[in-house]
Chain A
Amino acid sequence: MTTGRGVELIGGWFGSGPDRGIALVFTITGIIGLVMTLLALRSRFYRLLSQRYLASAGHPPPAPQASPAPHMASIEAEH
């Protein structure tokens, strides 16, 4: 970020030169990460996994599996 339109646009305030270029990558990475996180937060997977976590009473300390849970049966069926 030493020359060009980007420098004319924000260089006066953000600064210019190679170091400020790196700085800009941080800022852009941060914004991408933030947008991605907010999208994921609104997604189906967040809701489903949250519900699953809060709903399940949790797995009891692994006792010998007398009756496998339904989802385990479905895995076994695949084998």
Chain B
Amino acid sequence: MKIFYHLLGNTLLASITNFTVWFDLTFFVYLETRSVLATSLLAGIYLIAVAVSGFWFGSLVDHYKKKHCMLASSVVSLSIYSLGFAIYLLAPPDAFKSPASLTLWIFAPLLLMGVISGNIRGIAMPTLITLLIPEERRDRANGLLGTAFGVSFLIVSVISGLLVGLAGMFWILVVGIVMTVLALVHLWLIPVVEQAIVHIDGKPQRIDIRGTLAAISTIPGLFALIVFTTINNFLGGVFMSLMDPYGLSLVSVEVWGLLWGMLSLGFIFGGLAIARWGLGRNPLRAMFSANITIWAICSVMTIQPSIALLMVGMFIYLCVVPYIEAAEQTIIQKVVPPERQGRVFGFAQSMEQAASPLTALLIGPSPSSSLSRS
């Protein structure tokens, strides 16, 4: 359990670092070019890269030791941030001003790849929970993992605006490099006992889509579960993209930003509640209860133009959301053979990301609204 807490802390550190680079890169691109098109393009590149890399990362996690995958993820991020730092230092000061600048379109996608490399952790961590945590406590561990991602998101959304305003890209990259080194050294020192990987299906393939689909189809209902979650994410994405315009029709920008900061605590409470009480005997039941709650809230919370109604609804919504993710993980951890879990988690990540472009755009930093807030 102690090892798990260390891994959790390490994941928190790494995801704060990577999210910070991503958010501030978007702010930076917007402030330099003043082009919403450029930031949208960046968001699009990010989304496609996440969806494609999920398959590949899943294969890597299955074929190599999970700790090594996480170490490699940090090494890649570190190299890319260092290279990006070099490009930033060498480029003339006005090299990033034009949306058509070649330097900009080498620099920004390069840094994005460093951020995306961190996503290996999102696949490796649930499989490490399978390895390290006895079955009856996995739901709680998944709740904690969700909390860790929630906390990192909250911290980053608070500090990223400050960082880019006060410090600029130079210091963001310095902070990114230093924090990645810290995460790397800390991870290196965590002793994770993993058995030798059993290559049941011969040589490691780079992107093993066939094997993944075969693994998923042998478990009745698993594919349906992933499709169901994907549709849910899509509907959730539609809904989230309308949240800002709707909220801003009720209150001022400042109040809206403040309220969202408080609401996002709901996500953390939800994760902690799972860590404390678990998901019950059947996580699928917990997942469906959570979905019914969410959609029921969604159908009534805008029925009258009231900010109080919206806030109460959204708070419950955000408390319940972590249950869905944690339940999906807990189910996969039990019904999928461990040596294939990386690919199944990777596949789920790819599907769910690809189906919710709107979610990604919203969860991604949106400079126009965030900057007007500050």
Contacts and interface: CB of A to CB of B under 8 A. Distances in A.
Interface in A50-75: 50, 52-54, 56, 58-59, 61-65, 68-69, 71-72, 74-75
A27 B300 contact: yes
A34 B299 contact: yes
Interface range for A: 35 or more
B94 interface: no
Nearest to A71: B218
A46 B284 contact: yes
Contact of B235 (A33, A40, A58, A72): A33
Interface in B60-97: none
Contacts of A71: 218-219, 337
Contacts of A31: 295, 299
Contacts of A48: 220-221
Nearest to A74: B218
Contact of A25 (B130, B211, B242): B242
B238 interface: yes
Interface range for B: 35 or more
Given A29-B239, A37-B288, A62-B131, A23 B303 contact: yes
Contact of B224 (A18, A26, A43): A43
B214 A49 contact: no
A33 B232 contact: yes
Interface in B97-148: 130-131, 135
B337 A27 contact: no
A9 interface: no
Interface string A17-29: 0111011111101
A75 B215 contact: yes
Contacts of A11: none
Contact of B195 (A33, A53, A63): A63
Contact of B246 (A19, A44, A54): A19
B300 A30 contact: yes
Contacts, number: 154
B278 interface: no
A73 B238 CA distance: 42
Contacts of B3: none
B225 A58 contact: no
A23 B284 contact: no
Contact of A68 (B200, B228, B284): B200
B338 A59 contact: yes
B295 A46 contact: no
B207 interface: no
A26 B242 contact: yes
B7 interface: no
Contacts of B198: 62, 64-65
Contact of A54 (B215, B282, B292): B282
Contacts of B245: 19, 22
List the 8 closest pairs (A to B, CB-CB), nearest first.
A30-B299, A30-B298, A49-B221, A33-B295, A23-B302, A45-B224, A34-B295, A45-B221
Given A49-B220, A53-B335, 15 more contacts: A26-B301, A27-B299, A33-B294, A36-B232, A37-B291, A38-B292, A45-B224, A46-B221, A46-B284, A49-B221, A49-B335, A52-B219, A62-B198, A65-B200, A75-B200
Interface of B: 130-131, 135, 195-196, 198, 200-202, 211, 214-215, 218-222, 224-225, 228, 231-232, 235, 238-239, 242, 245-246, 249-250, 281-285, 288, 291-292, 294-305, 331, 334-335, 337-339
10 contacts: A19-B250, A22-B302, A26-B299, A29-B238, A33-B295, A36-B231, A37-B291, A40-B224, A53-B282, A53-B334
